[in-house]
Chain A
Amino acid sequence: MDIKTKSLGTVSIVEKQIIELKNGFYGFGQYHRFALLDAAQKPFIWVQSLDESDLAFLALDPFLFRPDYEIDIDDATISPLGIETPSDVLVFVLVTIPQNGEPITANLQGPLIINKKNNQAMQAVLSDARWKTKHDIAAESSAKRGK
């Protein structure tokens, strides 16, 4: 099927690229269906709303810049996704690009959790104080590189 996107024009997607968030993203609870699309800038992806072409988030595999990232969510919270094994899980974090030239950040406190077997997804809220809504991607990535 063809969808209209915020940054890539009209693109053709297949069913397995579509994820469903029953509760949406916080602040965007009315939007439930999104497509995962490769961005031109690897390894970033777009999480593009299917219902509102102007709504899209840039996202990233958090482990690429924070190999020490951990997600601890209690079973009751995550049970609606129907996850059976950890290998069913795909994790992305949303990326913010400030307009004023400040560093590009990733939100490690509110990760997007996807069950890749059934494409059910949710935005979790982590209670671990290590994970904030703004992590400077370049700084933390180069800190790891320096080791």
Chain B
Amino acid sequence: MLILSRKINEKIMIGEDISLTIIEIRGDQVKVGVEAPKSVKVFRQEVYEAIQNENKAAAAATSNANLDGLSGIIIPHQ
């Protein structure tokens, strides 16, 4: 792990084609600009955590959940 300090408008390079720029600091919020090739997926960590948590909820809930609740909740469109 690398820990370093940056001032506003200074950059961090990750490899040759990914850069992070500190755009703004206001209170406890930092605005970061991310430049990366299209092939690199950039997401907030919360997005992945939300999907993980939802998968766990989906897997847990089906164990003894009342599946009868599923009947009739879909109204077909054709």
Q: Are A and B bound to each other?
A: yes
Give the bracket for the number of chain B residues in contact with chain A. 20 to 34
* Contact bitstring B28-62, A, C-beta under 8 A = 1, else 0: 00000000001101010001101111111111011
10 interchain pairs, CB-CB under 8 A: A40-B67, A44-B70, A94-B54, A97-B62, A99-B61, A104-B73, A107-B55, A109-B54, A110-B51, A127-B43
Asked if B76 is at the interface (CB within 8 A of a chain A CB), the reply is: yes
Majority SS at the chain B contact face: helix
- Asked if A99 and B65 sit within 8 Å, CB to CB, the answer is yes
Q: Say yes or no: A138 contacts B43, CB within 8 Å.
A: no
Check A125–B47 contact: CB distance below 8 A. yes
Per the CB 8 Å criterion, the residue count for chain A at the interface is 44
B1 to chain A, nearest CB (A): 22
State which of B48, B58, B67 has its C-beta within 8 Å of the C-beta of A94. B58
Given known pairs A6-B63, A97-B65, the reply for A138 and B58 (CB within 8 Å) is no
Given contacts A27-B55, A110-B55, A41 and B63 within 8 Å (CB-CB) = no
- On whether the beta carbons of B56 and A97 are closer than 8 Å, the reply is no
